[in-house]
Amino acid sequence: MKSLYQDLPQVEIAGRKLVGRVLFGLLVLISALLGATAGLLLVYTTDLPQVDALETYRPSSITDIYDDHGQVIGSFALQRRVVASYDDFPPVLREALVSTEDKDFYTHSGINFFRIVGAAYRDIESGGKVQGASTLTMQLARNLFLSPDRSFHRKIEEAILAIQIERHFTKPQIFALYANQIFLGHGVYGFEAASEFYFSKPAKLLTLDEAALLAGLPKGPGVYSPINHPDRALKRRNLVIDALLEDGKITAAQADRARKAPVVLHLAHDPNSLAPYFVEEIRRYLESKYGTDQVHEGGLKVYTSLDAGMQKAANQSVLDGLAAYERRHGWKGHLENILDEGQTIQKYSHPDWDDDLSPDGYVHALVTSAGAGTATVKFGRYIAELGPSQAAWTARKLGDILKAGDICYVKVLSLSPAGTAKVSLEQDSGAQGALLAIDNATGGIKALVGGRDFNDSKFNRATQALRQVGSSFKPYVYTTAIDQGANPEDTILDEPVTFETPSGPYSPHNYDEKFEGIITLRRALAQSRNIPALRLASKIGIASVINYTERFGITSRLPPYLPLALGSAEITLLEQTSAYSVFPNDGVRVTPRYLTRVTDYEGRVLEEDFPEVKDVVSARTARIMTSMLRDVVLHGTGIAAAKLPFPVGGKTGTTNDFTDAWFVGFSPTISCGVWVGYDEKKSLGAKETGARAALPIWINFMTAAMAGKDPGEFQPPPNLPSTAQKLDTPDSAPASDESH
């Protein structure tokens, strides 16, 4: 048999053998490459997460806290995110993002080979690491599953995951996952949260220039921040607009108008700044019950009793009241100076500056320069000039009391968009104030101020501080007597007396050092006479008074000695205010509460709180006491509140050496307590009584809180016997057995 090559020229035979060897070599090389690729894929995919877990994936989201009208008053979050659906993102935002980040998003299978090859070539040529060319799907894979490390290994994993994601999910699903996950600066994640943060509106309402601004942020949220770098943000925004025009998504006229639009931000107010002490109480409770992770990542909806309008009034009333107190006592100085501490004016930032600034607010400001007649101060992005008229109350020259680097306290009178402000010089000597308001019918806490400045001190003086209550304790003494059969027209002696106690003779006195002789219980309470209150407590027994306070909800320890009748005991403002609500409530106490309902991310109710009520005293006693406390306002120590156009009652309280000033009172619908003092229990100053320091704050708050509301009416007291009895005689003043 002839060979196949027998009739062929030798050269042709050699050529065919060479081709065969080359083909064989190529097959071997391809097989090796395929094997190596398969091996690499096996290695890279072995430890990769399963993307089908995304079907049940829910990103960390914000726990929102709402007031009683559905307004957000606070939030907790590790990542500030509002989860939205694909349809929640307007077409203009979707198109801007795709045109800028991934033009072929709707057609590729997860990766764009041409972009990867081009980017790789440029990086290899420049000696850098593989970077850029990531599709939206690859960015999603990286953000969800991988580290931000820019390496060849991570890039391969990113591509594999992107392909798997594309196989499991639709393009709208992938877009929504990406748009909810991406970081967009200033602690904000996702475009819905970013729209609310930067523009104070939902993403659906974004304009072309606003959408382009947001679409430019994923490339570098810090570099292109419109807050910190508005010039860079503007250039980046215009590049996005150009990309939209290039892709035919907008017209030339639309692009021109959008480019000419200035970058105008409407930054969302920090909701936590409205009622920080209240929100902190909520946080402590939620974390103790549901755990930190659930509270800060679970997207709970927390509905509370707070009224945002009343809270604003409470904040303003307390700060204005403290400012009035400071002015009464003159300039004290002793200002902190940052230059003495080694800091610089250019780099200094005060915690107050992170809060929302508004006219009538108070803020600590940095003195940048000071002369004989003027001083310049800075707070946040605002600059203000202080002149003699803004500091006239100090009776000092500005150059004598302020110098560069000082931290002073000012009231904001006005703010301009240009960054200038008008302010008046105030003082923060350390005096504190607290206010708490409760809805009588539901027990819901409507407003809570725990101190002058939450940034300076987290200690809640409305719920945590135990302070001597002074004469605001006296209503419990009179309630005990009335509930045991006494009448407000019964008489008692107001004259010098000495009580024999186990610790020795006790000779009390009245605040005015005067005595009125025979006096009715009604007048004794209205004028806050000390001697009658002590005589009455001695007669009915201090143990009986303590028993009644416990029924009113007072849980603080009350020492069983006679001076307790004058308020020597330490009680919280929350306890006092809640107890006073018993009077307008016809003798019923409603336990104070913060929450009304808590739901999970899916809207399932986790807990619901309903008013808890308890009978304390008879309706007869409550109505008589209400009328007597009404007389405190009409004819007694609380007479400044008589000008209010709705019925109120209440009681002042002042402690020895004027260390604590109180006013606790009520209308038919709201009970409110105010305390003023120093944390270290030093004197507020001579004549700083409850009527002078605390009552004006209470009046201002109640005026605002009741505006436009039906004030209601107190229930009239019952008909009482016309004859009155004497409850003691000059010789009947022994101490009770429990006194010491």
Interval 636-662: pLDDT, tens: 999 999 999 999 999 999 999 999 999
CB 435 within 8 A of CB 448: yes
Mean pLDDT is highest, among 8-22, 498-512, 534-548, for 534-548
Assign domain 433-706 to a CATH class. alpha beta
Residue 650, class by beta-carbon neighbours within 10 Å (0-12 exposed, 13-18 middle, 19+ buried)?
buried
Tokens representing 633 are 């306002």
pLDDT at 736: 33
The CATH superfamily holding the domain 333-428 is Nucleic acid-binding proteins (2.40.50.140)
**Which SS3 state, helix, strand or coil, does residue 366 take?**
strand
Tell me what the mean pLDDT of segment 13-34 comes to: 62
Write out pLDDT tens, residues 324-366. 999 999 999 899 999 999 999 999 999 888 887 889 999 999 9
Q: Write out 53-112 in H/E/C secondary structure.
A: HHHHCCCCECEEEECCCCCEEEEECCCEECCCCHHHCCHHHHHHHHHHHCCCCCCCCCCC
Kindly tell me if the per-residue pLDDT of 670 is higher than 50. Answer: yes
> Where do the DSSP E strands lie in 612-706?
613-615, 649-654, 660-666, 670-677
Q: What's the CA gap between 187 and 79, in Å, rounded?
A: 6
Kindly tell me if the per-residue pLDDT of 738 is higher than 50. Answer: no
CATH T-level fold of 79-272: Penicillin binding protein transpeptidase fold (1.10.3810)
Q: Please, what is the angle between helix 230-246 and helix 208-215, to 10°?
A: 110
Angle at 566 between CA 562 and CA 568, to 5 degrees: 80
Tell me what the mean pLDDT of segment 700-711 comes to: 96
Q: Which residues pair with 593 in a beta bridge?
A: 444
**471 given a catalytic annotation:** yes
pLDDT at 10: 62
Q: State the Cα torsion 350-351-357-361 to the nearest 10°.
A: -90
Tell me what the mean pLDDT of segment 243-271 comes to: 91
CB 639 within 8 A of CB 651: no
Closest Cα to residue 258, out of 221, 211, 300, 222? 211
Q: State the Cα torsion 318-319-322-328 to the nearest 10°.
A: -130
Q: What's the CA gap between 314 and 308, in Å, rounded?
A: 10
pLDDT at 598: 97
Helix or strand run (H / E) with residue 533: helix 530-540
* Ramachandran class of 482: left when φ > 0, alpha when ψ lies in -120 to 50, beta otherwise: alpha
Q: What's the CA gap between 655 and 677, in Å, rounded?
A: 10
- Of 474-478, 610-614, 700-704, the poorest mean pLDDT is in 610-614
Tell me what the mean pLDDT of segment 190-196 comes to: 94
**Which SS3 state, helix, strand or coil, does residue 248 take?**
coil
Cβ-based neighbour number of residue 734 at 10 Å: 12
Kindly tell me if the per-residue pLDDT of 290 is higher than 70. Answer: yes
Q: What's the CA gap between 543 and 547, in Å, rounded?
A: 6
Write out pLDDT tens, residues 381-435. 899 999 999 999 999 999 999 999 999 999 999 999 889 999 999 999 999 999 9
CA distances from residue 301 to 294, 447, 502, 602 in whole angstroms, order as listed: 11, 20, 57, 10
pLDDT at 693: 98
pLDDT bin (cut points 50, 70, 90) of residue 18 is: low
Write out pLDDT tens, residues 200-245. 999 999 999 999 999 999 999 999 999 889 999 999 999 999 999 9
CA distances from residue 393 to 208, 330, 389, 412, 728 in whole angstroms, order as listed: 51, 7, 8, 16, 51
pLDDT bin (cut points 50, 70, 90) of residue 268 is: confident
Angle at 601 between CA 598 and CA 603, to 5 degrees: 60
Closest Cα to residue 618, out of 593, 586, 645? 586
Cβ-based neighbour number of residue 248 at 10 Å: 9
CB 525 within 8 A of CB 471: no
Write out pLDDT tens, residues 542-595. 999 999 999 999 999 999 999 999 999 999 999 999 999 999 999 999 999 999
Tokens representing 61 are 């989201």
Q: Helix and strand tally (H, E) in the chain?
A: 21, 25
Q: Which residue has the tokens 């619908």?
A: 669
Kindly tell me if the per-residue pLDDT of 731 is higher than 50. Answer: no
pLDDT at 458: 94
Q: Which residue has the tokens 């605040």?
A: 511
**Out of 317, 471, 581, 671, which one is annotated catalytic?**
471
Cβ-based neighbour number of residue 11 at 10 Å: 7
Write out pLDDT tens, residues 54-113. 666 677 788 999 999 999 999 998 888 888 999 999 999 999 999 999 898 998 887 876
Kindly tell me if the per-residue pLDDT of 40 is higher than 50. Answer: no
Kindly tell me if the per-residue pLDDT of 735 is higher than 50. Answer: no
**Which SS3 state, helix, strand or coil, does residue 157 take?**
helix
Residue 70, class by beta-carbon neighbours within 10 Å (0-12 exposed, 13-18 middle, 19+ buried)?
exposed
pLDDT bin (cut points 50, 70, 90) of residue 17 is: low
pLDDT bin (cut points 50, 70, 90) of residue 162 is: confident
Write out pLDDT tens, residues 599-630. 998 899 999 999 999 999 999 999 999 999 99
Q: Which residues pair with 444 in a beta bridge?
A: 593
CB 659 within 8 A of CB 676: no
Question: What does DSSP assign to residue 601?
Answer: T
**101 given a catalytic annotation:** yes
- Extents of the domains making up the chain: 10-47, 79-272, 333-428, 433-706
**Out of 95, 99, 101, 280, which one is annotated catalytic?**
101
CA distances from residue 287 to 284, 297, 298, 501 in whole angstroms, order as listed: 5, 12, 12, 48
